Structure 1
Amino acid sequence: MSQMKGLVQFITDIRNAKEQEQEHKRVQSELVHIQKQFQQSNLSGYHRKKYICKLLYIYLMGHDLSFGMSESIALAGSKVYSEKCIGYLALSIFLQTQSHNMDVVFDLVHSDLSQQREDFICLGLQFLSAVAESDIHSQRFETEVFSLIRSPVSSPLVRKKAVLTLLQLFKVDPLLITRNPTFATRIVPLINDPDFGVSVASVSLVQHIAKLAPELCTNCITLVVEKLHKVVVQGECPENQKYYGVPAPWLTVKLFQLLETLVPDIDVVPVDNANMKLIKTILQRAISTAISQRQSLSLEARHTRDFILFGAISLAAHVDPSPDQLSTAVDALCQLLESPETNIRYLALGALGKLATRNESEVLDTLDRHNEQIFSLLRDRDVSVRRLSLDLIYIVSSPQNVEDTCSRLLEYLSVAEFVMKSEVAVKIAVLAEKHATDANWYVTTMMRLISVAGNYLDEEVRQRLIQIVVNNDSIQPTACRLCYASLKNGSFPESMVKVAGFLLGEFGHKLDVPLEQQFDLLYGYYPQGSVPARCILLSSFLKFYHHSELLRPRIIELYEQESNSFSAEVQQRSLEYLKLTSGTNQTLLSLVVVEMPPFQSNISPLIPRLGNVSQLQQSFQLSLPQAMASSSSLERPRSPTKKVPPPRPRSRKNTGSVASPAVTSFPTGASMDSSQAFSQFSHSSTIDSTLSASWKEGYYRQLHYDQGIFYEDTIFKIVYRMKRDRAVLHFDLTYSNKSAAPISGLTCSVVSNIVDSSDPGYIVNILQHPESGIAPGAKSVQKFDITVRKPYLDSEVPTLNISFMCGGYSEHKLRLAAVLGKILTRGSPLTKETFFARWSQVANLSGSESQKVVKLKTCTSTAIIGRAVQLFGFNVLPGIDPNANNIVCAGILSMAAGGAGCLCRIETNPQDSRLFRVTMRCTMAGLADILVGTLVDLLNNI
């Protein structure tokens, strides 16, 4: 810029102008000169850049421009970086007023994004993110920007800028994720990118996608947790990413925030045990490090540690850590409340509020010990700190301390400044109603609140008090007595007159005090009251008119006087009431002055006035799309508007022999046609359509054997090992990298396909996730258990979803052979007589038998079939069947809900070795159908 002498001289002339007219004249002469220069055909890039800079300066001074767009486009198309940079800068500004030539601009950006030069690509991305403000931009560039992200040849700088540009496109066009749902699965692995700049940008993008479509980002929880563990616990971080010795603080906090978005409440979005164990380790290390090193660190390092501490505690409020960790976190935050820096006190109060919102007893009990410290912040010099301390006092209140809390808040209300009085009054009113155990105490507290708050009291508070008194007969005399006493003392605000006017008019006749004395008190205030207060008193006097004949002349006289009032509302009421009292039809008057019926609504109108408290409660709720998807199978989240919450709950914790089967007689029923469909046991076509093309080989290998190769291709191999432990199947999967390139962003999730998620047939427990990065020739292990609770169909077995980056993006969906029959154990050897006796007994049970005729594709010997059945889990019993070609076997199925005995007979056809009949009898209804389907599927794929 310093080399462009003409530009420097022009700016100097403008600054030296003493009058606006002189400045305007200089600008106009320069605009004429620039227009003449632009008309030259041999204008150099340097001079075009200089003149564009002058136009930018003129535009920023507030002058309108009618030209310059075409020249800016020409400059942006230059092959010189400095010229292209100024051209894009001018276009980003001129497009705000000159929207023509958009197609030319788009073509220019397309050209730069397809360049091989990194600096040109970055300029194009930066320009696009600056001007994108509608779905037009996203639809034109979404695919191209995404290609830069996934391209293996893109540099970290280009990928980082492309990620941030895509984030801007998502912001201006949320439907982008609907058009391209696969974007999410390919962006998520970037969280573990070796370049921390790309990782930080990717976390922001994934968090935004998670808010739009949470179901697309659930698999990234494992990647986030692993990345946090490496940075926070293991300290793996490049030196250039450390800030005052703290490893990657920005990435750490962003990952904490992403986890909060993915897991707003651990009760609603469960986290598997393997990830939860790591999360607790991460939080414990982050919190303990921030506390232990606080005194020995420099100011900058201390602020950085505090930054991470607040992020960790905010996440802790969502994932429900251990009680000891909660208490430690609260003590650490309460220490920060003594900080001389306002920002630290403010953030500490915010974190404490988020922890306390969970209503964990450990948090509330620890906060009780710091009660005085929290109350002292009500007199902090910063109003934001005072507001947060008031919110925290409200959150930690309970039936045990509500009386003391309300009393102290009433004392503070009398000295609070104007901006706080309304908020304090609302919270006192809600606390008194929410936790009151004594009706008289509630009425007394509310009357005291009205007296102290005075004219700063919101109308909703007065209306809510009246609603509660009307709905509770037992407190009506007390409320009227307190109102009368307050008026009699002579010092009271107008809000007290409004409450007293209504209550004495409605229930004053229930007091021992004569109505004439009550009327005198109210009438004495009437002349000096505001119009709303006088309107309430006029209505109240009508009720006095109905109850007391002695007061009728005075009341009629008042109505006659007010019928000429300057206030239209007062005049109208007076005329209407005068008409009622002067009429001869007393029945109509009786209908008008009938006692107020109970209010139907029990929802307090003050709840929406709680401000930050409501926002904290809503932060633990799911976004709408995820909430709708989860409502059928997960616990219902707590309601933030519940009127009477239960007492403080305790913290939530994530928490027989089988008799010989009886059996009966060999069947002689007609055989079934082998061509009939066995629909209830066939694989779901919907599930099959989403599985990888080569899933069957590994699935049937698992069905036959308890260890072997589950999947293999040119990039990686999966070896499985399965162990049976009664109702539990233990899976060990070993992932091996066969390629010459490293595998990154590996996610392996076990997805349940149970139809009835409210009462699932099995439960998956993740014990260990594989590492997200596997070097060439290296291995990583995944461990999980599947606990069988009750019978389920083969079509409901879980799916293993695998995704990773290795040169490009790869995704595989494989079916685990965790069928019900896999928990079969061999029963004890049976004699011929015992077997047929039990066979006959089981036949008497309803739904105990299933039979199917099967024709195999190839001829198979009886020995091979017997071996397959025995490997599956049955105990083959030789010498039981009179026909030596038949196979008889028995087994025990152990489930968490109970065991069942299974007897099986396989009859072969001597004329056709491919044809045989399977008959199964089980002591549990419906179980035989499932096992026959599995066994037939097994034999068809020997």
Structure 2
Amino acid sequence: MALSGMRGLSVFISDIRNCQNKEQERLRVDKELGNIRTRFKNEKGLTPYEKKKYVWKMLYIFMLGYDVDFGHMEAVSLISAPKYPEKQVGYIVTSCLLNENHDFLRLAINTVRNDIIGRNETFQCLALTLVGNIGGREFAESLAPDVQRLLISSSCRPLVRKKAGLCLLRLFRKNPDVVNVDGWSDRMAQLLDERDLGVLTSSMSLLVALVSNNHEAYWNCLPKCVKILERLARNQDVPQEYTYYGIPSPWLQVKTMRALQYFPTVEDPNTRRSLFEVLQRILMGTDVVKNVNKNNASHAVLFEALALVMHLDAEKEMMSQCVALLGKFIAVREPNIRYLGLENMTRMLMVTDVQDIIKRHQPQIITSLKDPDISIRRRALDLLYGMCDVSNAKDIVEELLQYLSTAEFAMREELSLKIAILAEKFAPDLSWYVDVILQLIDKAGEFVSDDIWFRVVQFVTNNEDLQPYAALKAKEYLDKPAIHETMVRVSAYILGEYSHLLSRRPGCSPKEIFSVIHEKLPAVSTSTIPILLSTYAKILMHTLPADPELQNQIWAIFRKYESCIDVEIQQRAVEYLELSKKGAVLMDVLAEMPKFPERQSALIKKAEDSEADTAEQSAIKLRAQQQQPSNALVVTDQRPANGSPPVSQLGLVKIPSVSNVHEQDHNSVDQGITQANGTLTVVDPQPPSAPSPDLLGDLLGTMAIEGHPGDVQGEKNLASGVKGDSNVEEALALAPVEEQTNTVQPIGDITERFQALCLKDSGVLYEDPYIQIGIKGEWRVHQGRLVLFLGNKNTSPLTSVQAIILPPSHLKMELSLVPETIPPRAQVQCPLEVVNLRPSRDVAVLDFSYKFGTHMVNVKLRLPAVLNKFLQPIPVSAEEFFPQWRSLSGPPLKLQEVVRGVRPMLLAEMANLFNSFRLMVCPGLDPNANNLVASTTFYSESTRAMLCLIRIETDPADRTQLRMTVASGDPTLTFELKEFIKEQLVALPTAAPRPATQVPPPQPQPASQPTAKSDPGALLAGLL
């Protein structure tokens, strides 16, 4: 744009460029915007020159990134100016500042139409450019016929017709129902006879849009497209200005081949022969040269030709030629070309009869796994995964296992899943499959999903010949001094079921098997302990009564965990101890697992299913969920009046066998236990309407109520209900309560409770004289499951109970409906499913209300589904840390900030605090002893597994400040994690924080509160 002659604009641009910092620039922009606003108010005194100058300034300010919320009318009014300079600025600024739905555009429709149908070609081009950029429905309704006439007019210059073609393309794409193209087949065929390549290129773009919508009406254009390709391939009558680095109009070639791919086939033999001759010429004439621009243009044509060859299902000879050409590309030094070669070779796998040809390049593809560029490594992984079959599965899986040790964290989860799927689909024998999966868990246990080892268990259980071999391999891995927890799980399970098959082998006696498993117990998490307890019970079953010493050792472990705070561990310990005293009963209950029913692999199904559901599928799922009963569990406190002994001191009358649970057939062996009149009975709950996704749900356990050893778990009843949609939830969230000001005051500080739950997974979220709301969470990668425990502390029911989740945009949350009434001294469990979509610090809110007598209580509570819940600590070595740290060179992937106002603390105390944030402190990486380096992995649907690195630099002279550097591969994640850590550090209380595993003691009851004979607050806090 020519800005000469406008001195004020030139001076303003110079002032902006001379600003020393962003603040000076903002002040100068604000001053100028104020001046422009004042001048526009006195518009009567403005000359066309001044108005043009101020509008140009507005555009420049907008291009700098500032909001310009006025002056739009002045810009639109310049469109109707009679002179070109004013009309030009009007069109340009309107195109930049307004969108297609802006109301001011309606004022300009008539002016734009007059310019289009006028005789001034310059004005026609300006108007067509405006409509082609921001033309909406009203423009399409008013101007489409005029634009169509310009396109097919023989009296218009090619420049105008070219812009008319692009303008019509915009209008048709945005409003295909408004633009009338019926009967345009012959006109499009005429346009394809154009000699001017500019008009021909814009017409071809329009044809691509038309045939993508309805190819049946444009069959007569297919021979014309082939002739255009022939003309370009032979460089016939192609002007020099349309030749790019010696390639005749590569853009037109690409568009033409794209249009041909919308036709299902080429039926005419002469046309088909001519087309394949052109494609053969393109394949033969493309090579890698030193000029990057020429490479880009020629490869754009080549890869579109490859796509057309695959679409037309060409002869095997041409397919072989394509694969050979791509084989040359994946071996060149230029990374972009290697990437394109691998990507297109992967696409060619979809074509039959080329897999054997691609296998010839397997060594080069494997070499690409070691490429410095992660995108090339990903494409090589996809290609190896696609080309694998029975003949080469062993070689490819072995290479992938070797690569797994050096692969970056961002790829390990995907790589692990693909190795598992290949091993299952193409295993020559099941023993090889077991070897591969155990190696996979050994090398990358942190990135191996539970579905993988569940599948191994299913294969071993269903194949008797495989059981001794699998048990022996599990024993070998357990003999290692350090293995991943997932390996402990699968090995313990297999040995629990089949270690008796190894009893005659040296070093495999029951006592030795127990000893090697028990060595791993101190290092595992609470979710693994139930599996180990089940294994001990199985070992005990096979040795009773031959080894009293081993029996006493196992009994001592069961007694130790009888008082564990985790309900799953406590229940198993109590039940296994009592069962083991019954002798034959233990043999019946812990019988060997039956065979699993044959069904499609969950891993293969996961790979085949599309990640995004269609709207129809989502609606079907929603309707299905609304028809399912609620998962809320009502637990009634029924303490016996005669002071009966606790569960651990009683024999169980009846218990279901933990072996009778198949994959996805049962949720858990969690049973309701009711104690009445001194008799203990086990009540089976009704089976849930939806199957569990876990193969070994009974071994992993489900969320349940945790109690003191002497407490008795009440009966569990399924409370039915339907799930409300979001509109209903929003309406309920805004509905007024009877009393806006709560007369009932909470017990304890709600903010402190929330902050404590941000660092641990269970505790009390809210408590008042009538109700206690506890929470317990389980988190796995980007998904979580919270259970809300709503406990009525009184002898009267709570009525009008409502619980509504108000989730932020980055969380997908589904809550089981709460019964409207909570019985006296009862507790309701409400499962809440959480899916993290992207990184954010926004917090979900629980809008909870209930009525007790005349008191209506409504509270809004923040839920601890916060950013650090989706972190998984991960250790990194110096060899892994420093390349990642250096690759994230600066903003926005690496951010640094000095944090002031931090509570002074020792370095060890700060390390413990970071561990509670789920950040693993890595000692020895920073040479400065006053600094900390931490690492973690963040999980969400958008980022998947994303490695995060943190460095904290402290000043021994001033512990109230520190410098923090956070780095990750996602800019949003880096910023959100930095702000989260800063907020946590600044919000620290003056006293040291409680450990993450500590459960806060129950709050004392106020004197004015209604009380029962026993302290309900203490009871419900114990349940948490």
Could you tell me the TM-score, scaled by structure 2's length?
Answer: 0.53
**TM-aligned CA distance change 1:219 to 1:555, over 3 Å:** farther
**Counterpart contact for 1:538–1:573, Cα < 8 Å:** no
Q: What is residue 1006 of structure 2 aligned with on the other side?
A: none
User: Is the aligned partner of 1:315 residue 2:308?
Assistant: yes
SS at 2:38's partner residue?
Answer: helix
The separation in 1 between residues aligned to 2:102 and 2:378, in whole angstroms, is: 46
Once the 2 structures are TM-superposed, how far is the Cα of residue 232 of structure 1 from its aligned partner?
1.7
CA offsets 1:319-367 (integer angstroms, 9 cap, x no match): 232333222222222222232211111111112222233242xx33433
CA offsets 1:345-397 (integer angstroms, 9 cap, x no match): 1111112222233242xx33433333222221111111111111222222222
CA offsets 1:74-121 (integer angstroms, 9 cap, x no match): 211112222212112222344359944342133333333332322222
**Counterpart contact for 1:580–1:589, Cα < 8 Å:** no
AA in 2 matched with 1:343: N
Q: What is residue 382 of structure 2 aligned with on the other side?
A: 391
**Counterpart contact for 1:563–1:570, Cα < 8 Å:** no
Unaligned runs of at least 5 residues, structure 1: 264-268, 616-942
Q: What is residue 515 of structure 2 aligned with on the other side?
A: 520
Q: What is residue 251 of structure 1 aligned with on the other side?
A: 252
**TM-aligned CA distance change 1:211 to 1:588, over 3 Å:** farther
The within-5 A match list for 1:614-633 is none
**Counterpart contact for 1:531–1:570, Cα < 8 Å:** no
Once the 2 structures are TM-superposed, how far is the Cα of residue 541 of structure 1 from its aligned partner?
4.2
AA in 2 matched with 1:483: A
**TM-aligned CA distance change 1:167 to 1:324, over 3 Å:** same
SS at 1:374's partner residue?
Answer: helix
AA in 1 matched with 2:279: L
Q: What is residue 360 of structure 2 aligned with on the other side?
A: 369
The separation in 2 between residues aligned to 1:230 and 1:499, in whole angstroms, is: 65
**TM-aligned CA distance change 1:285 to 1:98, over 3 Å:** closer
**Counterpart contact for 1:69–1:98, Cα < 8 Å:** no
The separation in 2 between residues aligned to 1:518 and 1:231, in whole angstroms, is: 75
| 1:495 aligned to which of 486, 490, 494 | 486
SS at 1:598's partner residue?
Answer: coil
Once the 2 structures are TM-superposed, how far is the Cα of residue 298 of structure 1 from its aligned partner?
5.6
The separation in 2 between residues aligned to 1:464 and 1:418, in whole angstroms, is: 23
SS at 2:395's partner residue?
Answer: helix
Q: What is residue 339 of structure 1 aligned with on the other side?
A: 332
The separation in 2 between residues aligned to 1:190 and 1:531, in whole angstroms, is: 72
Q: Which structure carries more helix by proportion?
A: 1
**Counterpart contact for 2:91–2:126, Cα < 8 Å:** yes
The separation in 1 between residues aligned to 2:49 and 2:27, in whole angstroms, is: 26
Once the 2 structures are TM-superposed, how far is the Cα of residue 496 of structure 1 from its aligned partner?
1.5
**Counterpart contact for 1:480–1:504, Cα < 8 Å:** yes
The separation in 1 between residues aligned to 2:100 and 2:241, in whole angstroms, is: 42
Decide which moves more: 192-201 or 346-355. 192-201
AA in 1 matched with 2:526: V
Q: What is residue 297 of structure 2 aligned with on the other side?
A: 304
**Counterpart contact for 2:579–2:586, Cα < 8 Å:** no
AA in 1 matched with 2:518: Y
**TM-aligned CA distance change 1:585 to 1:147, over 3 Å:** farther
| 1:280 aligned to which of 267, 276, 281 | 276
**TM-aligned CA distance change 1:47 to 1:371, over 3 Å:** same
The separation in 1 between residues aligned to 2:302 and 2:102, in whole angstroms, is: 47
SS at 2:118's partner residue?
Answer: coil
CA offsets 1:261-291 (integer angstroms, 9 cap, x no match): 444xxxxx57443333223212211111225
Once the 2 structures are TM-superposed, how far is the Cα of residue 491 of structure 1 from its aligned partner?
4.3
AA in 2 matched with 1:561: K
Q: What is residue 71 of structure 1 aligned with on the other side?
A: 74
**TM-aligned CA distance change 1:573 to 1:589, over 3 Å:** farther
SS at 1:41's partner residue?
Answer: helix
Could you tell me the TM-score, scaled by structure 1's length?
Answer: 0.57
Q: What is residue 229 of structure 2 aligned with on the other side?
A: 228
**Counterpart contact for 1:337–1:348, Cα < 8 Å:** yes
The within-5 A match list for 1:842-881 is none
**Alignment RMSD:** 3.7
Once the 2 structures are TM-superposed, how far is the Cα of residue 63 of structure 1 from its aligned partner?
5.1
User: Is the aligned partner of 1:324 residue 2:317?
Assistant: yes
**Counterpart contact for 2:76–2:104, Cα < 8 Å:** no
The separation in 2 between residues aligned to 1:577 and 1:555, in whole angstroms, is: 13
The separation in 2 between residues aligned to 1:301 and 1:498, in whole angstroms, is: 57
**TM-aligned CA distance change 1:608 to 1:115, over 3 Å:** farther
The separation in 2 between residues aligned to 1:236 and 1:191, in whole angstroms, is: 15
AA in 2 matched with 1:57: Y
Unaligned runs of at least 5 residues, structure 2: 612-1024
| 1:424 aligned to which of 397, 415, 437 | 415
Q: What is residue 768 of structure 1 aligned with on the other side?
A: none
The separation in 1 between residues aligned to 2:89 and 2:592, in whole angstroms, is: 79
**TM-aligned CA distance change 1:358 to 1:555, over 3 Å:** farther
CA offsets 1:581-637 (integer angstroms, 9 cap, x no match): 4898987995686725424531442465589xx99xxxxxxxxxxxxxxxxxxxxxx
Q: What is residue 766 of structure 2 aligned with on the other side?
A: none
SS at 2:286's partner residue?
Answer: helix
**TM-aligned CA distance change 1:603 to 1:35, over 3 Å:** same
**TM-aligned CA distance change 1:452 to 1:52, over 3 Å:** same
User: Is the aligned partner of 1:562 residue 2:555?
Assistant: no
User: Is the aligned partner of 1:463 residue 2:454?
Assistant: yes
The separation in 2 between residues aligned to 1:315 and 1:277, in whole angstroms, is: 14
**TM-aligned CA distance change 1:124 to 1:22, over 3 Å:** closer
The separation in 2 between residues aligned to 1:466 and 1:176, in whole angstroms, is: 60
**TM-aligned CA distance change 1:82 to 1:273, over 3 Å:** same
**Counterpart contact for 1:427–1:610, Cα < 8 Å:** no
Q: What is residue 537 of structure 1 aligned with on the other side?
A: 532
The separation in 1 between residues aligned to 2:191 and 2:588, in whole angstroms, is: 76
Q: What is residue 199 of structure 2 aligned with on the other side?
A: 198
The within-5 A match list for 1:338-737 is 338-360=331-353, 363-512=354-503, 513-544=508-539, 547-549=542-544, 554-555=553-554, 557-565=556-564, 568=566, 570-571=568-569, 574=572, 577=575, 581=579, 590=588, 595-606=593-604, 608-609=606-607
The separation in 2 between residues aligned to 1:536 and 1:140, in whole angstroms, is: 72
**TM-aligned CA distance change 1:122 to 1:432, over 3 Å:** same
**Counterpart contact for 1:38–1:71, Cα < 8 Å:** no
The separation in 1 between residues aligned to 2:514 and 2:262, in whole angstroms, is: 60
The within-5 A match list for 1:173-188 is 173=175, 182=183, 186-187=187-188
Q: What is residue 867 of structure 2 aligned with on the other side?
A: none
**Counterpart contact for 1:222–1:275, Cα < 8 Å:** yes
**TM-aligned CA distance change 1:223 to 1:130, over 3 Å:** same
The separation in 1 between residues aligned to 2:514 and 2:569, in whole angstroms, is: 20
AA in 1 matched with 2:560: Q
The separation in 2 between residues aligned to 1:15 and 1:32, in whole angstroms, is: 19
**TM-aligned CA distance change 1:472 to 1:208, over 3 Å:** farther
The separation in 2 between residues aligned to 1:62 and 1:303, in whole angstroms, is: 32
**Counterpart contact for 2:132–2:171, Cα < 8 Å:** yes
| 1:169 aligned to which of 168, 171, 181 | 171
The separation in 2 between residues aligned to 1:595 and 1:26, in whole angstroms, is: 75
The separation in 2 between residues aligned to 1:390 and 1:86, in whole angstroms, is: 52
Q: What is residue 828 of structure 1 aligned with on the other side?
A: none
**Counterpart contact for 2:147–2:167, Cα < 8 Å:** yes
**Counterpart contact for 1:193–1:199, Cα < 8 Å:** yes
SS at 1:436's partner residue?
Answer: coil
**TM-aligned CA distance change 1:411 to 1:65, over 3 Å:** closer
**Counterpart contact for 1:204–1:254, Cα < 8 Å:** yes
